[in-house]
Structure 1
Amino acid sequence: MQPGKFITFEGGEGAGKSTQIKRLAASLESAGIPVTETREPGGSLGAETIRGLLLDPDKDWDAPTETLLHFAARADHYTTLIAPTLKQGGWVLSDRFADSTRAYQGYGLGLDMAAIEMLYDLALGDFRPDLTLILNIPVETGMERIRSRAGNPDRYEQMDIEFHNRLRDGFLQIARKEPDRCAVIDAAADIDTVTARIRDYVSARLGVKLTA
């Protein structure tokens, strides 16, 4: 059996990842491709438990502790859900993966990138996403979207504008370093335009024919 494909969605707060994941999943399913949607931190029982700790607005983790928690969650997520699904031929769409750790803890909080890559190798070895879609949006636009949502913001959403600017720059640097894996999508466009661009990238890069 041919293994499935792993597509990750990355970007700053308010970029619209959740909406676009659902739309891409529907397109893939219409093409007869089995799809599992997941998220990070989270995606497995153990990882969801750690997610609650990471997003708690009352917690103030330092960058090393936070990064260790992320990779503990990621290792469980990969072993429990991602790897078995891909082995069975299913495609996996993940709302965030390791690039978020590089961007948030590395570029955003200043943790040494070499330490992050060492933890990646320990947790995941040579496993890499087949395609990473980086939804790029001006920080001010993303934060306006966050403020319009119901509910209380999590600890990342509460961070200052300088942090979110570093975050955006970090994702763009990641894309420049790995252009064969990453595609940058203008997420400030209207929802249907973003969806169409994502379908085009997936069709071109992963060899599938997707329609609306």
Structure 2
Amino acid sequence: MDKTEEQRRRAAIQTWLKAYGTSLYRYALVRVGQREIAEDLVQETLLGALRATRPPDGRASEKTWLVGILKHKIADHLRSRQRSPLDNSVDPGLDDGDDIEVVIFRTDGRWREPTNGWGDPLKALQGKTFWQHLATCLGRLPATQSEVFVLREVEDLSVEDAARLAGVSVGNVYVLLHRARLTLRHCLQQIGLGVEDMP
């Protein structure tokens, strides 16, 4: 590799790292739950993007393209550990026959448990324990629900980009998001998020 090519590669990595590094890292961390592994996966993603035979073709944004590469790196990592993302699908406190909406809402449509214990959402979001709790609860969702939630709500990708990356229809994204939000709220409350002494 000549010096010009090496400089181009370094510049590309620096540009991607500056523009998307935090988003890629958060996405990986939420999916794998370990900081060091998330960092390694982001590095592998950037190197993989450099090795790509062609840059994004215009159908997806550069960020969506990089998240797509990262998604494959995460899947490879999980496969190498001989576990599927579905292995994380632990019961979030519901029986198989339970309807999440019946568990969460009363017949008049109001929450069964008052939401006033959530405190200041911005303060809770800033707490590092929030991400740990969120990763735990996301691990309890079915893989596609978890992935769509992270792509749309954590990474702030468009509904269309989230649908493309998750391999579902745009309409299905809305259904998956609705179910994920309800289950995540229930799970976060069960593990302590929302109590008065929450940081």
Q: TM-score, normalised by structure 1?
A: 0.29
Larger Rg: 2
Higher fraction of helix: 2
Q: TM-score, normalising length from structure 2?
A: 0.31
- Which structure features the higher share of strand residues? 1
